[in-house]
Amino acid sequence: MNIGSRISTGIDFDRDGKQVGYLNLPHSSDISAHGNICIPIAVIRNGDGPTALFEGGNHGDEYEGQVGLLKLIRSLQPDQIRGRVIILPSANFPAVEAGTRNSPIDGGNLNRSFPGDPNGGPTDMIAHYVDALIGEADIFVDLHSGGRTLRFLPYVMTRLTPRTPQAANMAALHAFGAPVAVVAGPEREERYAWSSAERRGIPCLTGEFGGSGQLSIEGLRIVERGVHNVLVHMGILRANAIPAPPTRVLASRGRTFSPDNGMFEPHFDVGDTVEAGALGGLVHFFDDPLREPRPVHIVHSGTIISMHHSGLTRRGDALFWVAGAA
């Protein structure tokens, strides 16, 4: 595989067996003039067959995908599979190390950096490399959560657009076996990791499995089952799928943004059902006690799938994200 990157690795992507090592991204810094950022990667291969690519740690402060993939790296053995599994558990490693969404080195948001740039900063270089790996995959699974500023109802997600393999995406979505799934359409934002899969016409799942800067036990369980079931679905893992309840499929309806700066008192929680126009909460003005709080009216009817996590809010924060029956 010729990726055309300064990132090097001792991993041979075409070799049978289990290899666990690093992508070495040269980074000349004040504390390490000739140093590398070492990004963990695992390649498990057994003969010809499909390739599944799993990514966690696209955002550093999202944990269910990272921990689920670390567990997969340790447990999965070549004789259990046919084909190839490529696992990047902590893709934006500097952000993972810092416990932040974006890279502390260059401020880069990996999930707004695709298709990347081999001559850019570390985050762009990582995006460029992952974009090339996506091009080698028969399915790409990018595991997210809400990080420190959002919390989510755990769900698996895919996107149906004229350029995506819609039937394959929906089949993988149902195979994953999450209690809730969200189906999204085209977006103006084209710099996501999944945008790379879309451009290349490669089946792709993503998902949000928790948030608030914590590791959700329920979210991790859904991730572990989903990763297993996708590998079975793709004909890579020779095992039975783990039984799951039927998936409730929702479509995104839209977000409600904060109208002001202050302290947010929510009147609902993730998973609640709301009607458009409902009083979603109040923004309180801590610097002006006699001022009446400002109401926040929810814009869309449906199920709340994501909420702003911090008690503080600023105008323009996404306070609620609502989805409804697909």
Q: With CB under 5 A as the rule, give the number of residues binding Ca ion.
A: 2
Of the pair 12, 218, the CB lying nearest Ca ion is at 218
Residue nearest to Ca ion (CB): 144
CB of 143 to Ca ion, least distance (A): 9
Task: State the Cα–Cα distance between residues 93 and 73, nearest whole angstrom.
Answer: 17
CB of 147 to Ca ion, least distance (A): 6
Q: Of the listed pieces 54-62, 236-244, 256-264, 291-299, which binds Ca ion according to CB under 5 A?
A: 54-62
CB of 208 to Ca ion, least distance (A): 7
Task: State the Cα–Cα distance between residues 89 and 210, nearest whole angstrom.
Answer: 16
Of the pair 62, 124, the CB lying nearest Ca ion is at 62
* CA quadruple 273, 166, 60, 122: dihedral, nearest 10: -150
Amino acid residing at 204? C
Of the pair 87, 110, the CB lying nearest Ca ion is at 110
* E strand or H helix at 262: strand 262-266
Amino acid residing at 230? V
Of the pair 76, 150, the CB lying nearest Ca ion is at 150
Amino acid residing at 66? Q
Length in residues, the chain: 326
Beta-bridge partner residues of 143: 207
Amino acid residing at 165? P
Of the pair 43, 180, the CB lying nearest Ca ion is at 180
Beta-bridge partner residues of 184: 159
CB of 316 to Ca ion, least distance (A): 18
Beta-bridge partner residues of 87: 42, 54
Is beta strand 139-144 parallel, antiparallel or unpaired with respect to 204-208?
A: parallel
Of the pair 62, 131, the CB lying nearest Ca ion is at 62
Q: Of the listed pieces 14-22, 59-67, 289-297, 305-313, which binds Ca ion according to CB under 5 A?
A: 59-67
Query: Which residues 144-163 are close enough to bind Ca ion by CB under 5 A?
Result: 144
φ, ψ for residue 166 (rounded to 5)?
-65, -45
Query: Which residues 183-242 are close enough to bind Ca ion by CB under 5 A?
Result: none
Please select the residue that binds Ca ion; options are 59, 84, 233, 309, rule is CB under 5 A: 59
Task: State the Cα–Cα distance between residues 304 and 323, nearest whole angstrom.
Answer: 7
Of the pair 150, 283, the CB lying nearest Ca ion is at 150
Q: Of the listed pieces 52-60, 70-78, 135-143, 226-234, which binds Ca ion according to CB under 5 A?
A: 52-60
CB of 267 to Ca ion, least distance (A): 26
Residues 6 or more apart whose CB falls under 8 angstroms from that of 69 comprise 54, 56, 87, 88, 89, 143, 227
Is beta strand 83-88 parallel, antiparallel or unpaired with respect to 150-152?
A: unpaired
Whether the Cβ atoms of residue 111 and residue 102 lie closer than 8 Å to each other: no
Of the pair 59, 300, the CB lying nearest Ca ion is at 59
Q: Of the listed pieces 33-41, 142-150, 245-253, 271-279, which binds Ca ion according to CB under 5 A?
A: 142-150
Q: Of the listed pieces 137-145, 150-158, 276-284, 286-294, which binds Ca ion according to CB under 5 A?
A: 137-145
CB of 145 to Ca ion, least distance (A): 6
Interacting residues with Ca ion (CB under 5 A): 59, 144
